[in-house]
Amino acid sequence: MHCATCETFLESAATTIDGVSDASSSYVTDTVRIDHDPDQVSKADLQEEISGLGYSAYSRDDTFRRRRANNWEMGRVAVGVLMGMSVMLQYLVIIYPTYFGGLFYGDRVTEFFESALASSVATPFYVVIAALTTIILAVTGKPILQGAYVSVRTRSPNMDLLVAIAAVSAYLYSTLSIVFGDKHIYYDVTVAIIVIVTVGNYYESSIKQAATERLSDLTSIRVDEARRVHATGEYEDIAVEDLETDDRVVVRAGERVPVDGQIIDGDAAIDEAVVTGESLPVRKTVGDAVVGCSMVTDGAVTVRVGDDATSSLDRISELVWDLQSGSHGIQKLADKLATIFVPVVLALAVLVTGVHLLLGTGVYSLLIGLTVLIVSCPCALGLATPLAVAAGIRDALERSIVVFDDSIFERIRGAETVIFDKTGTLTTGEMTVTETDLETSLLEKASRLEERSSHPVGKAIAAERSGFDGGAAESASDADATADRVDAFDSYRNGVTGIVDGDEIIVGHPDLFRDQGWDVPAHITDRITNSRDTGRIPVAVGCNGTAEGVIVVGDELRPTWDETVASISDDGKDVVVLTGDDARAAQQFREHDAIDDVFAGVPPEGKAETVKRFNNTGRTVMVGDGTNDAPALAAADLGIALGGGTAMAADAADVALVDDDLASVDTVFELARATNRRVKGNIAWAFCYNAIAIPLAILNLLNPLFAALAMAGSSLLVVTNSTRPLLSDDQ
């Protein structure tokens, strides 16, 4: 899309097509979403209709069409730059000497070129310049002309309209001058305007494109095939979309559940974090519900397919698409100003031309009016926002922050509430041993026993072995020898048992100890209860008939979480924590002075709804990392995803913190404020230039050439200002 007015134009044009019931478009993500009846109009027909309006419409997952559209855009820029250099070279060598006289070239040189251009031999020379300029205007300037057309159709004046009028006016004046024998041509003005604005817009669009490119990877963790069980007991691998309600599918350790359903046989530890955000795997057995795309980490189950034969991830994906493709209603500041600036400049040019005609200036009245248009051409104003935003994105990248949506620097202003997901955001999202009271020898035996378990808690305990006997530095032969010292191993739904170095070891829930007839002292039971109250997983460890200690496994807090939430609170913003975990896991956040509210046990849809409720009271920022956070990230005014999060979270977010440093959230706010200051500074200069240059043009103190040079100079100043760093090196 060329500008925010394209949103209105595409929506109105799409709804006039037979079979289309509704359409919504977003300039932010270059997306139009069309609800249609496939029996009346196909997707291919819709793409053809939209493309016929002057756009290049394609499905968001059509990488070939996207690449081709990008190549066309790059080709237009290349045509403008290369042919523009050819035109400007001829101006510098031949035409400008006649304009500047003896000021730079000497009188004899000037007389030579004037006589050469006045002769009939010069006609092909003018034709070549006219032809090159025509190509530049038609090919490179096509998006600008299209934007102007949309502006007229929607009756919403924008910067494209004024740029197009200035460029086309200079082109038509020069062409008529050649026809009527006047050798004063201003094709250089047309070339300069088109090329400067096109290069600036291309720079901006390359940034915007990141918002849609990564969104095509939403299905990266979906399940494509399922193992269906027939009544005869035979297995059949089929596509997930062919599953029907009440079909039975088998899911083994290391595999994802294909669709939502209910367990009818077996039991397993299931990690549902991808959908629910729950940080700890849940042991499930017959009668328990399971969600699609959750991971079976230990055991195997047979699942009966639910009513809709779909997965929760599918519904989350659909919710993300809905939120992403909807319009944010954001317009560039330059386009907002254009609704006033453009009509005023056009009226002024017409008025100036009429006054000079009345004063008897004759044909030069048109030249004066053209000069007003050229000097008013908002190249600097049009570049003020995208180049300042580009500077913000550049500085963000230097700090390992990736910005997917260039509108964030406007949307983040005035944010009142910052909402943090807990698991994977305020915490690391990885299971680790947080504390233990075991002696080193018993901890080593427990870790060696758990090496044979595939449960995430067991893996966290097994990881403790890296501190024993050289740990990770062990040779392969040493590892084999160690493994041989585990003489027996059995896995249960609530723990593991085995014989290590001749000792009988149990690691698991106290119920497993009681089932095996072992003793569990009261102080062990009390410690387990206290650890559960903090939201962590306590595991009892016993040797030869008695529980001797506890290993506590949990999701560790990020080192900088405390400072980050405190800094945001000190900045006058409300801090809210959302989590799919139960209330016990969120208790420590309720007690933190900088956190205003905590919502526990919140499912993905609930997170998005919670964010929307906060949206009603002010602007919101959502910080998350998991797939289950994607709807909430998309629903917020600004979504920030940590780099360690899933692809879907990054797709739904506006910003990704690549280095996984929570402290970078503060940097995002700093960059947004600095970028807005830079935008305002650029726009202030652009208007200051117009305030000086337009009166000079009205008084006929500028000709079109000097007007074009002044316009180019103001644009150069904006570009130079935008190259300066936004933040100091220590920020």
**Token pair belonging to 142:** 């096509």
**Distance between CA atoms of residues 395 and 689, nearest Å:** 27
> What are the tokens at 239?
């596509």
Region at 626 (left for phi over 0; alpha for psi -120 to 50; beta for the rest): beta
- Of the candidates 498, 481, 477, the one whose C-alpha atom is nearest the C-alpha of residue 489 is 498
Give the sign of the dihedral formed by CA 404, CA 406, CA 409, CA 415: negative
Asked if 491 contacts 507 with a C-beta cutoff of 8 angstroms, the reply is: no
**Helix 379-398 vs helix 704-722: crossing angle, to nearest 10:** 20
- What are 227's strand-pairing partners? 237
Measure the CA–CA gap between 588 and 427, rounded to whole angstroms: 12
| Residue 52: CB atoms within 10 Å | 10
Q: What is the DSSP secondary structure assignment for residue 455, as one 8-state letter? A: S
Structure tokens, 320: 């993300």
d(CA 191, CA 710): 15
Q: How far apart are alpha carbons 660 and 94 in whole angstroms?
A: 58
Alpha carbons 242 and 222: distance in angstroms, whole number: 15
Residue with tokens 């698409």: 321
- Neighbouring-strand partners of residue 655: 403, 640
Cα–Cα distance, 175 to 181 (Å, whole number): 10
Which of 421, 625, 637, 660 is the catalytic position?
421
Region label for 630, one of left (φ > 0), alpha (ψ between -120 and 50) or beta (otherwise): alpha
Q: Which residue has the tokens 């940034």?
A: 207
For the record, the structure tokens of 163 come out as: 């740029």
Of 236, 241, 31, which is closest to residue 249 (Cα–Cα)?
236
DSSP assignment of 394-430, as one string? HHHHHTTEEE--TTHHHHTTTEEEEEEEIIIIIEEEE
Q: Retrieve residue 151's tokens.
A: 């502006």
Distances (CA, A) of 41 to 33, 59, 65: 14, 15, 20
For residue 474, the SS3 value is: coil
Are 17 and 11 in contact, with CB atoms under 8 Å apart? no
Cα dihedral 221/324/207/690 (nearest 10): -170
Cα–Cα distances in angstroms (integers) from residue 720 to residues 391, 504, 711, in the given order:
11, 74, 14
Q: Does residue 18 carry a catalytic annotation?
A: no
Compute the distance between CA of residue 678 and CA of residue 386 in angstroms, rounded to an integer.
Answer: 11
**Could you tell me which of 194, 176, 181 has the C-alpha nearest to residue 132?**
194
DSSP state of 675: H
Cβ atoms within 10 Å of 259's Cβ, excluding its own: 26
What angle do helix axes 379-398 and 664-698 make, rounded to 10 degrees? 160
Count the alpha carbons within 13 Å of 583 in the hemisphere toward its beta carbon: 1
Using CA atoms, how far apart are residues 26 and 325, in angstroms rounded to an integer? Answer: 6
Query: What is d(CA 503, CA 501) in angstroms, rounded to the nearest whole number?
Result: 6
Task: With residue 434 as reference, give the H or E element that holds it.
Answer: strand 427-436
Cα–Cα distance list, 719 to 45, 641, 692, 716 (Å): 42, 30, 20, 5
88: which 2 tokens? Answer: 């400007």
Structure tokens at 316: 């989350």
Supply the residues annotated as catalytic: 421
